[in-house]
Structure 1
Amino acid sequence: MAAACARKLSKVGWQILESQSCRPGKVFSLVPRSSLHGSSRAYGTGGSGFRSKLLFAPPLHGGSRILGCAFLLGGGIGLYQTIKFSVQQHLAEEKSKVSEGEIKLTLYQYKTCPFCSKVRAFLDFHGLPYDIVEVNPVMRKEIKWSTYRKVPILMVNGEVQLNDSSVIISGLKTYLISKGKTIPEILTCYPEMKSTNDRGKEVTEYNNKYWVMLTEAEASLLYPEKDSRKEEIKWRRWADDWLVHLISPNVYRTTGEALASFDYIVREGKFGTFEGFCAKYVGASAMYVISKMLKRRHNLQDDVRQDLYKAVNDWVAAIGKKRKFMGGNQPNLSDLAVFGVLRVMEGLQAFDDMMENTKVKFWYKRMEKATQNHEGKI
């Protein structure tokens, strides 16, 4: 309706300007009379008879063109406002459609944590937007609201909390494939189990955390090759139980590497000035000692680089020469897990040595491209 009125005003304006009747005494014959019905008496406009005088008195010199321009200007402004409103309304409707069913994700993390890096690799590959809250590793005040005191923690819509990197990844993959399931419903498939480890420390584990919970039809689409699901679970477990334990002994292998590693950690993490100074020097010294303890605990060789090289080459050999990724032409969850773990060494001597002395380079570069380009976006 508003657009029609605006077009009518513009049309009248053009008629006034272009017709031969744009002469004194004839200009008002072009104005639609339907809007002028009623008494010729004016109300509050200077007394009776003013309206009739205004309508029928001969116009001043040049008045016809002024009036035509006024109609054009009024019509143009009206049309512009109408179009602007329509476009804004359309964009709002489209935004509402796009956002319907979307989830808001907030990741609480340490940037240099391999488990957090796994989750980021998954989110980036699938093109899922997320906010990051970098947690201070000393005070951890950013997660003081949580009874679960480790990272990563992923909050969904500010209400639902997902813990453990593998649960986060399996749960979100289930959500992306099974559109009918909500996050709270999916989480019931990963029950929390508390136990005490061999050192007397209470640990929290999650059943089924390497399983993507799908129907048979959905699973056949995601895992078309025989045993591909078992293979994915095997290597995801391997990344958590073995590969991740090779990182600390390698990045803290010598005092120089330990200092370089903590310099990177302080630079990328969330530390105060004093905390950063203490973390760099005290932390580096402590982790150098701890890395030796980890080497003994996991029965690593004296030269821990050799264990890293072997693990990475075993991974590449399992992919084989005929596949780009463990998942075939596209990365699967084990590709993303291994990539996420290895990525935390970037910029350190251990990473450079690994790239130079193993066959992982080409796979790693493909993974880098796949995550940066969000190639798994659904």
Structure 2
Amino acid sequence: MAAALTKSLGKVGWYMLESAACPRLGSVSYLFGNARLPGSSRAYGTGGVGLWSRLSFQRGKGRMLGCALLLGGGVGLYQTVKCSMQQQHLAQEEREAPAGGPLLTLYQYKTCPFCSKVRAFLDFHGLPYEIIEVNPVMRKEIKWSTYRKVPILMVDSKVQLNDSSVIISSLKTYLIDKEKKFTDIVNSYPEMKSVNDSGKEVTEYNNKYWLMLSEDNTKRIYPEKHMQKEEMKWRRWADDWLVHLISPNVYRTTAEALSSFDYIVREGKFGSFEGFFAKYVGAAAMFIIAKRLKSRHNLQDDVREDLYKAVNEWVAAIGKTRKFMGGDQPNLADLAVFGVLRVMEGLQAFDDMMANTKVKHWYHRVEKATLNNQGRKGTAAGGH
């Protein structure tokens, strides 16, 4: 599978690199999608903002696009061949929907931080789900979709959710108040369309961090008034800031970029030419793109410092008296931050973060909580 995927990426990359006349080629979306299944009743949500979002290349820059195609697939392939059985143990067994519960299918890229957030939520609550891994370049697994980003979550093969935060807020609301119809819950997150500074139409959900609960349930889930606002604040922070620190840190130097692609080539069992092309061209492209992201988000010369600062800011917000921001159990903010950081596992950036910040103990507590489905009991009782 790994070799086949990379061979496809190589062909696409070579096509773009050999194209003498390369017109404006649209955008390359690394980490998302937007979709509607044939026959599905509804489609909700958006994929949010990617690690690099809608990178467009003018005439004469087709070569970089070819490199980016190799890169986008390479990052996904890196984690795919490194696949953690523990993280996907719920998805790899054949299951039927639990009694009274929804049947869930998640379309994802393994390394998409927004997809990782959704998996962390589902695993923590012990919700069975099937994973459909989407090829990050061809995306044939969602060819039925007009929405071309991920994550996409299908509920009972009828209701489609596309934005990671809408997915999580909708499911959490449903788990707390199962008397509500799922479609009614999702209707509480209407699309808000607008035109951005570039003149492109964008879709957002201004209330996607809210749980749609009654006053009594809100008081029960958030016994102190500040708890709900705190959770929402840090969920938004994870989407709007933390996620943008990942790619510049993973590909901070040429050595780190090459290190990432070393694993791909070794595990994919390439021929000598394919391996050379995937490793050096892909790594070079990602290094260049990471520099562009660094400039776009006004990061420091050493982007590690921004990562360390952000992670320590998160740990400080939890404080010394709480195991998690949610108290004795992770809340939605804990799961969101954990999901974003988890996509760096196995890379130097992750090791450096663990060694140079205070996040280690919190991270391992959340990891254990998700692997052991510690939210399952709270889910059954409708707890937070």
TM-score > 0.5, shorter chain as reference: yes
Match of 2:343 in 1: 344
Alignment of 1:26-105 (within 5 A): 99-105=98-104
Does residue 1:107 correspond to 2:118, yes or no?
no
Match of 2:374 in 1: 375
- In 2 relative to 1, CA 118–298 (structure 1 residues): closer, same or farther, beyond 3 Å? same
- CA shift for structure 1 position 341: 0.2
Letter aligned with residue 293 of structure 2: L
- Cα distance in 2 for residues equivalent to 1:177 and 1:274: 55
- CA shift for structure 1 position 327: 0.6
Match of 2:68 in 1: none
- Cα distance in 2 for residues equivalent to 1:184 and 1:275: 48
- CA shift for structure 1 position 112: 0.7
- In 2 relative to 1, CA 281–186 (structure 1 residues): closer, same or farther, beyond 3 Å? farther
- In 2 relative to 1, CA 192–222 (structure 1 residues): closer, same or farther, beyond 3 Å? same
- Cα distance in 2 for residues equivalent to 1:267 and 1:121: 29
Alignment of 1:327-338 (within 5 A): 327-338=326-337
- In 2 relative to 1, CA 279–142 (structure 1 residues): closer, same or farther, beyond 3 Å? farther
- Cα distance in 2 for residues equivalent to 1:287 and 1:212: 37
- Cα distance in 1 for residues equivalent to 2:220 and 2:267: 39
Match of 1:160 in 2: 159
Match of 1:291 in 2: 290
- CA shift for structure 1 position 343: 0.4
- Cα distance in 1 for residues equivalent to 2:251 and 2:157: 37
Match of 1:177 in 2: 176
Identical counterparts, % of pairs = 79
Match of 2:251 in 1: 252
Letter aligned with residue 170 of structure 2: G
Match of 2:129 in 1: 130
Letter aligned with residue 122 of structure 1: F
Check whether the contact 1:112–1:265 (CA below 8 A) recurs between aligned residues: no
- Cα distance in 1 for residues equivalent to 2:179 and 2:285: 49
- In 2 relative to 1, CA 277–177 (structure 1 residues): closer, same or farther, beyond 3 Å? farther
Larger helix share, 1 or 2: 1
Q: Which runs of 5+ in 1 are unaligned?
A: 1-97
Partner SS, residue 227 of structure 1 = helix
Alignment of 1:17-28 (within 5 A): none
- CA shift for structure 1 position 291: 0.9
Alignment of 1:220-259 (within 5 A): 220-259=219-258
- Cα distance in 2 for residues equivalent to 1:189 and 1:113: 26
- In 2 relative to 1, CA 253–368 (structure 1 residues): closer, same or farther, beyond 3 Å? same
Q: Which runs of 5+ in 2 are unaligned?
A: 1-96, 380-384
- Cα distance in 1 for residues equivalent to 2:305 and 2:215: 42
CA-to-aligned-CA distance 1:302-354 (integer Å, 9 cap, x gap): 00000000000000000000000001111000000000000000000000000
Match of 1:359 in 2: 358
Check whether the contact 1:113–1:344 (CA below 8 A) recurs between aligned residues: yes
Match of 1:322 in 2: 321
Larger Rg: 1
Partner SS, residue 132 of structure 1 = strand
- Cα distance in 1 for residues equivalent to 2:245 and 2:171: 27
- In 2 relative to 1, CA 221–278 (structure 1 residues): closer, same or farther, beyond 3 Å? farther
Partner SS, residue 225 of structure 2 = coil
Letter aligned with residue 296 of structure 2: R
- In 2 relative to 1, CA 219–261 (structure 1 residues): closer, same or farther, beyond 3 Å? farther
- CA shift for structure 1 position 99: 3.9
Partner SS, residue 321 of structure 1 = coil
- In 2 relative to 1, CA 268–314 (structure 1 residues): closer, same or farther, beyond 3 Å? farther
Bigger mean CA offset, 286-295 vs 133-142: 286-295
- CA shift for structure 1 position 196: 2.8
- Cα distance in 2 for residues equivalent to 1:122 and 1:266: 32
CA-to-aligned-CA distance 1:2-52 (integer Å, 9 cap, x gap): xxxxxxxxxxxxxxxxxxxxxxxxxxxxxxxxxxxxxxxxxxxxxxxxxxx
- In 2 relative to 1, CA 373–99 (structure 1 residues): closer, same or farther, beyond 3 Å? closer
Check whether the contact 1:111–1:268 (CA below 8 A) recurs between aligned residues: no
- In 2 relative to 1, CA 138–278 (structure 1 residues): closer, same or farther, beyond 3 Å? farther
- In 2 relative to 1, CA 311–213 (structure 1 residues): closer, same or farther, beyond 3 Å? same
